[in-house]
Copies of this chain bind each other. A is one copy, B any other.
Amino acid sequence: MLLAKVIGTVVATRKEQSMEGLRFMLLRQVDLDGHESGGHVVAADVVGAGPGEMVLYATGSSARQTVATDKRPCDAVIMAIVDNWEVNGQIKYKKGAE
């Protein structure tokens, strides 16, 4: 899984039928300090993540291992909202403390 920040949303009316009802969130990867860096990706959201939140997302076939994404042409899913992470014993990100 990768750490990313929810930076926006994508609207797509015309889409593969099975994707109806899924929310597309725009994510940008973050570095170990929580700063945006690296690429952006669009992921389906199954945990109710909102803009500005730090999340974990899974890609590939693993992105289909949820009830909402099963058997759908979806290759990225937000599967967790991050509370905090630490590196070498130091808290590097804590939700609400940015």
Closest B residue to A7 by beta carbon equals: B87
Docked Cα-Cα span, A86 to B42, in Å, equals: 12
- Known contacts A73-B66, A73-B77: A1-B15 contact under CB 8 Å: no
Contact between A76 and B14, CB atoms less than 8 A apart = no
Which residues 30-64 in A have Cβ within 8 Å of B in the complex? 31-32, 40-43, 46-48, 51, 56, 58-64
Docked Cα-Cα span, A76 to B69, in Å, equals: 17
Cβ contacts A80-96/B at 8 Å (1 or 0 each): 11111111110010000
Contact between B16 and A66, CB atoms less than 8 A apart = yes
Can you list 8 A-B contacts with CB-CB less than 8 angstroms, sorted by A residue number? A1-B74, A11-B83, A13-B81, A19-B80, A24-B80, A61-B62, A66-B73, A74-B79
